[in-house]
């Protein structure tokens, strides 16, 4: 990392979505909880993802320690295509492509839809990850027909989407429909 691209702060400043330097490597914070134990000093329980390898890790940081946050740049890029073990994103303004290795998008790859925009995280001008929106729209590739007369409340069936994601949908959803999917839980939200 270049000098000047990070700053020191208190662990109580850790928030979901921020990038901190842990072991000299940038990590994206995916969850955090501030905890105290009786008369002892509190600590922050942090779940984070290594932005170089994609591996998730949990760690405790005492509130008396200090942490280094990285300056992070977010660019809205369009997912264009997958080529081997890289996912390519296009900057519509500069027409420049940014390949991101599969290990950095492994957990979210089923939510990537060609032609859709995503926030790509950059540190020192290099793409290191992708942030998903709260919901994405996809087309249903295949889905079993609902059984006539099956009207139990909230009856559902499996459906396979254009990315290969399989999820439970209401009986009225059929192949060719466009639906909205929540990216946090991977659940059906409604028709698009």
Q: In three state form, how does the secondary structure of 83-131 look?
A: ECCEEEEEECCCCEEEEEEHHHHCCCHHHCCCCCEEEEEEECCEEEEEE
**pLDDT score for 99:** 94
The pLDDT of residue 29 is above 80: yes
Give start-end residues of each CATH 2.40.50.140 domain in the chain.
Answer: 73-131, 135-191
Q: Does domain 6-70 match CATH 2.30.30.30?
A: yes
Give start-end residues of each CATH 2.30.30.30 domain in the chain.
Answer: 6-70
The pLDDT of residue 156 is above 70: yes
Q: From CA 96, how far away is CA 93, in angstroms rounded? A: 8
Contacts of 73 (CB under 8 A, 6+ apart): 121, 122, 123
139-166 average pLDDT score: 82
Q: Does domain 135-191 match CATH 2.40.50.140?
A: yes
Fold of 73-131: OB fold (Dihydrolipoamide Acetyltransferase, E2P) (2.40.50)
Neighbours of 190 (CB within 10 A): 11
**pLDDT score for 37:** 78
Confidence of residue 1 (pLDDT cuts 50, 70, 90): very low
Which of 71-80, 93-102, 107-116, 119-128 is predicted least confidently? 119-128
């Amino acid at each position: 990392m270049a000098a000047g691209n990070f700053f020191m702060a208190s662990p109580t400043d850790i928030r979901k979505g921020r990038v901190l330097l842990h072991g000299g490597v940038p990590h994206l914070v995916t969850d955090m909880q501030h905890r105290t134990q009786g008369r002892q000093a509190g600590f922050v329980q942090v779940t984070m993802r290594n932005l170089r390898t994609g591996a998730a890790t949990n760690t405790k940081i005492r509130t008396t320690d200090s942490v280094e946050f990285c300056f992070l740049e977010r660019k809205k890029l369009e997912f264009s295509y997958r080529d081997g073990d890289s996912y390519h994103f296009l900057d519509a303004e500069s027409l420049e492509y940014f390949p991101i290795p599969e290990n950095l998008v492994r957990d979210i790859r089923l939510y990537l839809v060609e032609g859709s925009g995503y926030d790509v995280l950059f540190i020192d001008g290099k793409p290191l990850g992708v942030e998903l929106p709260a919901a994405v729209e996809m087309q249903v590739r295949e889905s079993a027909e609902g059984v006539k007369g099956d009207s139990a409340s909230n009856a559902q069936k499996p459906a396979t989407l254009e990315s290969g994601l399989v999820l439970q949908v209401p009986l009225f959803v059929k192949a060719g429909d466009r639906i909205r999917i929540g990216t946090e839980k991977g659940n059906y939200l409604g028709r698009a």
